[in-house]
Amino acid sequence: MEAEVRPNVKEMERAERFPLAEIKKLGEMGCCGMLTPEEWGGPGLDTISYVLMLEEVARVHCPTSTALGVTNSAVQVPLLQFGNDAQKQKYLRRLATGEILGSFCLTEAQAGSDAAGIQATAKRDGNLYRLNGSKTWVTNGSAAGVLIVFAKTDAAAGGKGMSAFLVEPSFKGFRVGRHEDKMGQRTSPSVEIVLNDCEVRVENRLGAEGEGLKIALSALDGGRIGIAAQAVGLAQGALEESVKYAKSRKAFGKSIGEFQAIQWMLADMQTEIEAARGLVHYAAWRKDSGQRLGAASSQAKLYASEMVNRVVAKAVQIHGSVGYSRETDVERMYRDARVITIYEGTSEVQRMIIARELLGEGVKSSAARG
Ligand SMILES: Cc1cc2nc3c(=O)[nH]c(=O)nc-3n(C[C@H](O)[C@H](O)[C@H](O)COP(=O)(O)OP(=O)(O)OC[C@H]3O[C@@H](n4cnc5c(N)ncnc54)[C@H](O)[C@@H]3O)c2cc1C
């Protein structure tokens, strides 16, 4: 990241260029399929290794870690868990090496947290399904070689009527729609995917009919740890920039790092980062040791995503007016961090999951995304 990506960050951000070349290089190092076993072309590493990788990537360039998070955990993990050998043969190997990127298409304009409320449909027609509807905010959507698309095979069955499909951009009836004009992470494309009688062969259904919600929720459960790791990495990057600036900027004849006000901000930033890192590594360890993940991934995601927003705000404050300039990394970090409390389950949804575990199943929450 230091040698190959940091030197390009300013240019990428100015041109709003998706870092495909950089991701390919990360792919050569195994970063595009960290959790995929060697027999399917990945390095077959554990969740701890995966979160350490995402922390390091996000420390330098958060949008690159977003692309990696989606293709690793939202696409390859469900493919590994629910795909058959033919599907793994066809897609997993190419995803794991970074030859192609994956996308995860659940959200629609009228259904985000309420995942079971999606309206896209998939109607069986002989050897095909015909998919209709449109998906929004699809990360990597304009650069993906395969997309997991969720649609209702039985609209009357609610969440139980949802199924998952492996869709390629070349399939008839598939189209990339509008690109979101975002506050931050502007080099990570978030696009609309339009499905107009999109033809998907039956062999490209992922899992059984009706298993879609289960597949989506299990992907999001693991994905949360990755997003929490991204938050830790981004916050670490902002802290490092702030320490450097506190040592170099002079005011009233001293470096600003000599003022207690600045020292306290730096101390709080580091302490909160380490607390979040502890939660992230604990959740990863639970996953690797085969324990029930429970609310651990939600706690990590909730705390780390709220923490990074506090940290980047302090980083901008420490930089003064320079922190408000597009010339600095902390200005970008401030914008990039904002979405982290929103995607892969909002902070409110994470709190619901945590409370549900405390209070038991008797207290149901309405958000299916959890
Ligand atoms: C940059 C970016 C990238 C994304 N990438 C992807 C992607 O690759 N694939 C994908 O499928 N989606 C993606 N998303 C979508 C994202 O996951 C959703 O935006 C998110 O789940 C929230 O859904 P929503 O935006 O519809 O908000 P809503 O669900 O409409 O929520 C609005 C507000 O209401 C709150 N709320 C909702 N329900 C409840 C409740 N029951 N109780 C209390 N509060 C509630 C929420 O917490 C939030 O504050 C992305 C979004 C962004 C911004």
- Ligand 1 centroid–CA 295 distance in Å is 19
- Ligand 1 centroid–CA 214 distance in Å is 18
Q: Determine the 3-state secondary structure of 81 from DSSP.
A: helix
Bridge partners, residue 129, by sequence: 124, 200
Q: Would the CB of 180 count as within 6 Å of ligand 1?
A: no
pTM of the model: 0.96
The DSSP H or E segment spanning 267 is: helix 260-288
- Of the residues 16, 180, 346, 351, which should be mutated to test ligand 1's pocket, given the most ligand atoms within 8 Å of the CB? 346
Q: Would the CB of 256 count as within 6 Å of ligand 1?
A: no
What residues are annotated to the active site? 344
Torsion sign across C-alpha atoms 34, 35, 38, 41: negative
- Rounded to whole angstroms, what are the CA distances from 8 to 16, 21, 46? 12, 11, 29
Q: State the closest ligand 1 atom to the C-alpha of 345, by its place in the atom list counted from 1.
A: 21
Spell out the per-residue pLDDT of the chain, length 370, in tens: 999 999 999 999 999 999 999 999 999 999 999 999 999 999 999 999 999 999 999 999 999 999 999 999 999 999 999 999 999 999 999 999 999 999 999 999 999 999 999 999 999 999 999 999 999 999 999 999 999 999 999 999 988 999 999 999 999 999 999 999 999 999 999 999 999 999 999 999 999 999 999 999 989 988 999 999 999 999 999 999 999 999 999 999 999 999 999 999 999 999 999 999 999 999 999 999 998 888 999 999 999 999 999 999 999 999 999 999 999 999 999 999 999 999 999 999 999 999 999 998 655 555 456 4
Q: Would the CB of 105 count as within 6 Å of ligand 1?
A: yes
